[in-house]
Chains A and B, each alone.
Chain A
């Protein structure tokens, strides 16, 4: 197991360089004149041009110049310096403010998915074809069918503006309460998927041979479901939720945008919109690490839950 984790960490290093290289290339290599792109419509004075050329090593041209700048960037990155955005703010500072908000939002969403999705999924799986099962099927299909771009403003309008149960927007430094509605909206999609997955898994495991064995041992039904069936059923669900946590952590561009939450997705979207290359690459680099780590955690958890999986 230890060797497996070590090998995965080494793979992560490769994946990290690969993805940052691609993102870096896509963001910068396509630009004709980065200095003009930076300045936008306004004219650039020769002095400014000389300063920026010096600062970003733009005098190096061609593929060699690109890699020179890339390694320069990675060198800074490894020292924990994410550089500055084009607006002059330290990207490290931006992320430091944005992360806690996004993490809180992601945890709320995940909690919603686990508490409601998994519980309802287990119940629906046990009572297949019951009213409960059928109504959850309809509800989840509805949620899965409505895109967040529709669901988020609807929730904001009805629950936030019209009935005023929740604050309609979060604003800077939001409270837990202000993040609750966006968290539920964000988590509803994971909830629906987790529910369907849990239901299918429980229904399948209830028919397994080992359940028949457990019954022939004379165990009570509750124990068979909670101990035997649940442990087996949760293996695919945990995998899904782990990957989903990685997704949620990478920020929710739409949800954070609609509810005006200054999280990672919000900043990433602003970076893309304003063609702020350093900001986009900086955020994406960190997201890659978050994603890789959460995937590793899922794989390790998977081996803990299912002893048949042994990583060599």
Chain B
């Protein structure tokens, strides 16, 4: 696990670069209140990669948008919690101060680059816009820097393609444009929200490699949001698994893959098709993700859990510390892990 010996930024002594504490976000709609984030805590240190894993609707993207401060309010409201960046709570800052953080300190790339880029402006203009508006660059300087950034993300013939529009690029190249745009202001944290989901498998690998390389070169910290366990393995240092707006398991990549300590993580790992166990039916997690307006009592995973006991219905499990910085929000974390090792 590569952790940079020299942190990129002045993080207060003993503190983390970015830390979420007990974040609660809800969506107030006409149909009722959906509790999308229910006490998420995680942290990110300079130069490391944290993968946030979960099904659609588990709240991983909403958490990221809360960090960026780009949630649509209404319907989304941050009910409580803290988002500490370099020790300061972003949630107590003014909108103007938060805007200054966006792009410059924390940048974000999105899933579908075609819709995330503005269709009516050339890509070079869109990359340059950040530089002109935020760094006060002249038009010519911004253009020059945009070409450099497009070179950095390995877009062939960058200087020639700067005037092209998003629809003239392939899916992979578009995502590279997104990445170039996010890197424009040298952010210290890059949040990648399912950056490869909309892409072909071969292109997925290229983009993941590019992100990993850039993270190392530019010494950024990265939050990689994904539902694809395969994407995570080679890139991330730590993994936080989300379910129904909670972190259910948190561990370093190696130990999580070796022995998941939460039934949900275990189910996810077992549902990956494997070449070495052929002829067996692929195992799945039964049931559906919960309705966030009616989250089940106790452990929200209990209706789908093979380990379910009465205590799971009655009591919300607390994070069980398993050593080596691992936690699992399961009443039977120990048993699940031992089960996994035994297999």
Contact = CB atoms under 8 A, between A and B. Distances in A.
Interface of A: 207-210, 212-220, 223, 228, 231-232, 235, 305-308
A216 B68 contact: yes
A306 B120 contact: yes
B170 interface: no
Contacts of B178: 213
Contacts of A308: 119-120, 165, 167
21 contacts: A209-B116, A210-B116, A210-B119, A212-B110, A213-B116, A213-B178, A215-B68, A215-B102, A216-B182, A217-B134, A218-B101, A219-B129, A219-B130, A219-B133, A220-B133, A223-B133, A231-B121, A232-B118, A306-B119, A307-B120, A308-B167
A284 to B, nearest CB: 38
B108 interface: yes
Interface of B: 65, 68, 70, 72, 99-104, 107-108, 110, 112, 115-122, 129-130, 133-134, 165, 167, 178, 181-182, 185
Given A209-B112, A213-B110, A218 B119 contact: no
Closest 6 CB pairs of A and B: A218-B102, A218-B103, A209-B115, A210-B118, A307-B165, A215-B70
| Chain A residues touching B, majority SS | helix
Contact of A307 (B68, B119, B129): B119
Contacts of B165: 307-308
A228 B134 CA distance: 16
B119 A216 contact: no
A232 B119 CA distance: 8
Contacts of A215: 68, 70, 102
A217 B109 CA distance: 10
A213 B103 contact: no
A308 B118 CA distance: 11
Given A210-B115, A308-B167, A216 B120 contact: no
B223 to A, nearest CB: 13
Nearest to B108: A216
Contact of A218 (B72, B99, B115): B99
B70 A307 contact: no
Contacts of A232: 118-120
A218 B108 CA distance: 11
Given A213-B181, A215-B68, A216-B103, 12 more contacts: A210-B118, A212-B65, A213-B117, A216-B70, A217-B134, A218-B104, A218-B133, A231-B118, A305-B120, A306-B119, A308-B120, A308-B167
A219 to B, nearest CB: 6
A209 B120 contact: no
Contact of B118 (A214, A216, A235, A305): A214
Nearest to A215: B70
A223 B103 CA distance: 16
Contacts of B119: 210, 232, 306-308
A308 B181 CA distance: 21
A11 B112 CA distance: 39
Contacts of B99: 218-220
Which has the most chain A C-beta neighbours within 10 Å: B101, B102, B119, B182? B119
Contact of A208 (B68, B115, B121, B185): B115
Nearest to B184: A217
A82 to B, nearest CB: 43
Given A210-B118, A228-B118, A308-B165, A216 B107 contact: yes
B47 to A, nearest CB: 22
A235 B165 CA distance: 17
A215 B133 CA distance: 12
A210 B134 contact: no
A217 B102 contact: yes
Contacts of A212: 65, 70, 110, 116
A79 B250 CA distance: 84
A246 B183 CA distance: 47
A217 B130 contact: yes
Contacts of A306: 119-120
Contact of A216 (B100, B102, B129): B102
Contact of A217 (B65, B167, B181): B181
Contacts of A220: 99, 133
A307 B112 CA distance: 19
A210 B125 CA distance: 14
Which has the most chain B C-beta neighbours within 10 Å: A213, A223, A305? A213
A308 B130 CA distance: 23
Contacts of B130: 217-219
A25 to B, nearest CB: 45
A115 to B, nearest CB: 23
B179 to A, nearest CB: 12
A235 B101 CA distance: 33
B116 A217 contact: no
Contacts of A213: 110, 116-118, 178, 181
B120 A217 contact: no
A307 B163 CA distance: 11
Contacts of A218: 99-104, 130, 133-134, 185
